[in-house]
Structure 1
Amino acid sequence: MRRLSIVALATASAGLGHLAPAVAAPIYPVPDGDGFYSAPPDVGNFQPGDVMRSRPVAANGFPGATAWQLLYRSTNSGDAPIAAMTTLLLPPGGGMNRPIVSYQPFVNSLGLQCAPSHSIFDGTMQEAPALNALLARGWAVAVPDHLGPTSAYGAARLGGRLTLDGIRAVKRFGPADLGGSVVGMAGYSGGGMATGFAAALAPEYAPELPIVGAAQGGVPMNIGKLAQDVGLQRSPLFGLGFAAAIGLEREYPAELEMDRILNPTGFALRSQIANACTNDIINAGANKSFNDVFYGAMDADPTVVRILHENSIEIYPGVPRTPIYEWHGANDQVSPQLVRDVLGRYCSQGVRVQLDLIPGADHGTAMIPGAINAFNYLGDRFAGIPAPSNC
């Protein structure tokens, strides 16, 4: 049997080893008080990407833009129908088949109030002002809640599905007039992971979408290996790894049971951050390690390995058909070598890949310079300029 450390097990929320006395069950977020988010009873009668509900909203922070929110049908990791949300911003003049950028924010949260459909307008989404630069180019911008209806942070393959179905939704939404639009995708960190998964899933999951380029930065290519980096030793970012374990438990409730491996400190931390946004998660888990919240080392079973593989781009066998721009800090805590490995595999199968390693930059400082290049990259793809490659 393949052995994994407690770190990887924790990331996958494995149900093995020491049995804690509590009843095994995920802690789901407090439901959103806005009934618009609720799935209709007949959600299963819709096709992935079908718009089930829509509403115009005030475009706070986006002068001149028109904003809509769309509730659409998607599919979770167990292949069950779910309701998902995307926020659509249209520049002055409306849609008229102008290019669409699906932008996946770097949301690292467990509470539904942290979702992009809320944070984009309430001032808590750090990158929201930058989206005005996309609107100024005349592009439509779609911002999906890519953690899904249970805020399943860490479930990266789900994020890819939600991204692709969100693109389908905005293209099918008649009032936006985007049915003939070409599409680009962009995102950083966790948003980059959703973007990367969407690119890799698209040939099989949504082959009809005219995706002409994907720009992704700071991408964690393997969630188990990243967990080792932030959990084997005490880390200021430990809370994010622990939150990913909670999110995976939510997404795979029949298979992963954190109750079986949490110690009393772990139970308390899970309860503390179950509805928290990024900063509170980081503060609550700062300078802890997996040994502080889980019982000792265990063996992993094939279910754990499978779920880790399903949510790690490094392991996922799918290869994008669209050109890729990837930027990453040369000194990033998220492994640059794994990025090189994945892109090398893509290159070997004919994908046009441009890798930009930013000298001296870490995970935080690489975002802005790479994002500027990313938007220019998408602009060139929209203009039909052949994609560069430095494979």
Structure 2
Amino acid sequence: MRKNTWARVAAGALLALSLSPLATASPAQADGTSFYDTPTTLPANNGDIVRSEPSEFYVDPVKLIKADADVQRIMYRSTDRTGVPVAVTGTVLTPKTPWVGAGKRPLIGYAVGTQGMGDQCAPSRTLGKGLEYEGPFIAGLLARGYAIVVTDYEGLGTEGEHTYMMRETQGHAVLDSVRAAQRLPGSGVTAANPVAISGFSQGGGAAASAGELAPTYAPEINLKAVAAGAVPADLSQVAINLDGSLYVSFMGYAVSALANSYGIDMTPMLNAKGQAMMATLSTQCTLDSLATFPFVKSKDLTTNGLPVTDLLTKAPFNQMVADQLIGNGRKPNVPVLITHSALDDVIPYKTGKQLAQRWCGQGTKVQFDTNFAPTHVGDYVASIPTIFLFLEARFAGLPALNSCWRL
């Protein structure tokens, strides 16, 4: 049965990765406003529910496979990089079947990979359309009986720009989504349920950030483990790898988010082509951007003819990039799995390994798993079985492996 489940997940992942999320109308409230409109005032505490409504989750875009789960779209309070309260949306999924494992049903705080910058790309919108490319993996978690909460991150679906790759904001969004799921009536989980955090690529960075922020930002969460794949832990290394590649739009997302988060006007630094590209990226989902801007060299976008990677080494961007370094004096207090392919063409392998080394140096128990699947997509698919086994072992209370001795 597990083999069949894995086969469906892998096949679904490859199918879903070939499809681009489509624009969808915002669900309307009884008062005529959109579900995604931010209210004038937010609740008092991080993780408090602003509003919720029933939703759906289809694994496939033809809508042949509907998840056997209670699905609720939520809006909850979180905080941005500077500590200002913000409204973030997400989705809580609880299997309809009883939990048959030991103890209480586990809750997974799931951080999705790169979705794009347009509001239509938010997972809480695409899950109901069968267009979320990580839907098959989420379905695999549901098949194991876990409750799941999937954050949209700040500014994805809601007002403002998506804070793509912003370490603190993404970590806060994940941790506060866990709190929100625990406080949502009828979710089937409370603060007593065991929790794990997982994600890959952008989601790997968000999961890793949440793991190391949890001891101070959300110490009450009953966190058992963190599983992070292809973690973009050092944006300076990732940017060099992306420039001129198929995935150069990811660098555009990150630079735009950095500038927006820190209040930097990029207009004087970009020529007409660069300004047009950044404006287009702000409205697109991932596959649209990949198709529109493949192999663009950033030196062709700047007014001085220098690559954006050069810009990132100078003030004020160098400090902004340094602020996003994961593992810089912070660490998770629970066992961690880091998975990474030596052949990943998006996130350099050394980036994940160096994060493992930094955490090991601070005393975290890290299982570092190397695979040799070609490409970033191959890395994602190859990591799935390892993540499933790691989570099952942690919830079963088994001893965690430690790779720190060989790193």
- Measured against the shorter chain, the TM-score band is 0.7 to 0.9
Where do 1:38-77 residues align within 5 Å? 38-43=37-42, 45-61=43-59, 62-77=66-81
Secondary structure at the counterpart of residue 325 of structure 1: strand
Secondary structure (helix, strand or coil) at the match of 1:176 reads coil
Range that drifts further, 182-191 or 238-247: 238-247
For 1:46 and 1:94, the matched residues in 2 are separated by 33
For the structure 1 residues 301 and 227, does the alpha-carbon distance in structure 2 shift closer, same or farther, using more than 3 Å as the test?
closer
Per the alignment, residue 249 of structure 1 pairs with 259
Question: What residue in structure 2 maps to residue 388 of structure 1?
Answer: 401
Q: For 1:291, which of 275, 293, 299 is the aligned residue?
A: 299
Aligned length: 357
Change (3 A) 1:73 1:220: same
Residue 281 (structure 1) aligned to one of 275, 289, 297: 289
The DSSP-based 3-state class of the residue aligned with 1:215 is strand
Match of 1:340 among 353, 368, 374: 353
Residues 1:156 and 2:167 aligned together: yes
Q: Distance in 1 between matches of 2:168 and 2:276?
A: 28
Displacement after TM superposition at 1:129 (Å): 2.2
Distance in 1, matches of 2:137 and 2:358, equals 32
Tell me the residue number matched to 2:17. Answer: none
Residues 30 and 243 (structure 1 numbering): CA distance in 2 closer, same or farther, change over 3 Å? Answer: farther
Higher RCO, 1 vs 2 (CA within 8 Å, ≥6 residues apart): 1
Given the alignment, which residue of 145, 151, 154 partners 2:152? 145
Q: Which amino acid is 1:123 matched to?
A: G
Distance 1:182 1:204 in 2: 18
C-alpha distance in structure 2 between counterparts of 1:244 and 1:135, whole Å: 31
1:83 aligns with 2:87: yes
Post-superposition offset of 1:155: 1.9
| Deviation string, structure 1 residues 170-191 (Cα, Å, up to 9, x no partner) | 1122321311211011111111
Paired amino acid for 1:241: M
Contact 1:97–1:177 under 8 Å retained in 2: no
Alpha-carbon shift at residue 82 of structure 1 (Å): 0.6
1:373 aligned onto 2:372: no
CA apart distance, 1:201: 1.1
The verdict on how the C-alpha distance between 1:185 and 1:128 changes in structure 2, with shifts beyond 3 A counting, is same
Please tell me whether residue 312 in structure 1 is matched to residue 312 in structure 2: no
CA distance in 2, matches of 1:271, 1:286: 16
- Does residue 236 of structure 1 match 2:246? yes
Secondary structure in 1 matching 2:326: coil
User: 1:304, CA displacement in angstroms?
Assistant: 2.3
Would you say 1:183 and 2:182 are equivalent positions?
no
Q: Which amino acid aligns with 2:49?
A: V
Encode CA deviations 1:317-369: one digit per residue, 9 max, x unaligned.
21111111111001223222222222112112221111111035332211112
**Cα distance, 1:302 vs structure 2:** 4.8
Q: Report the CA distance shift for 1:63/1:279 in structure 2 as closer, same or farther (over 3 A).
A: closer
Alignment root-mean-square deviation, CA: 2.2
Give the unaligned 5+ runs of structure 2: 1-22, 29-33, 60-65
1 CA distance for matches of 2:35 and 2:178? Answer: 19
Q: Give the TM-score normalised by the residue count of structure 2.
A: 0.82
Q: Are the aligned partners of 1:217 and 1:326 in contact in 2 as well (CA < 8 Å)?
A: yes
Q: Which residue of 2 aligns with 1:25?
A: none
Residue in 2 aligned with 1:354?
367
Closer, same or farther: CA 272–338 of 1 in aligned 2, 3 Å: closer
Q: Which residue of 2 aligns with 1:171?
A: 182
Structure 2 equivalent of residue 99 of structure 1: 106
Kindly provide the CA deviation profile for residues 74-104 of structure 1, in whole angstroms up to 9, marking residues without a partner as x. 0011221110112011101478941001111
> Alignment identity in percent?
28
Aligned residue identity for 2:355: V
For residues 376 and 76 of structure 2, what CA distance do their matches in structure 1 show?
Answer: 32
Does the Cα contact within 8 Å between 1:30 and 1:275 map onto a contact in 2? no
Q: Residues 272, 59 of structure 1: CA spacing in aligned structure 2 closer, same or farther, 3 A cutoff?
A: closer
How far does residue 290 in structure 1 lie from its aligned partner after superposition? 1.2
Deviations 1:225-246 (CA, angstroms, capped at 9, x unpaired): 2112222xx3222122112212
Unaligned stretches of 5+ in structure 1? 1-28
Query: TM-score by structure 1 length?
Result: 0.85
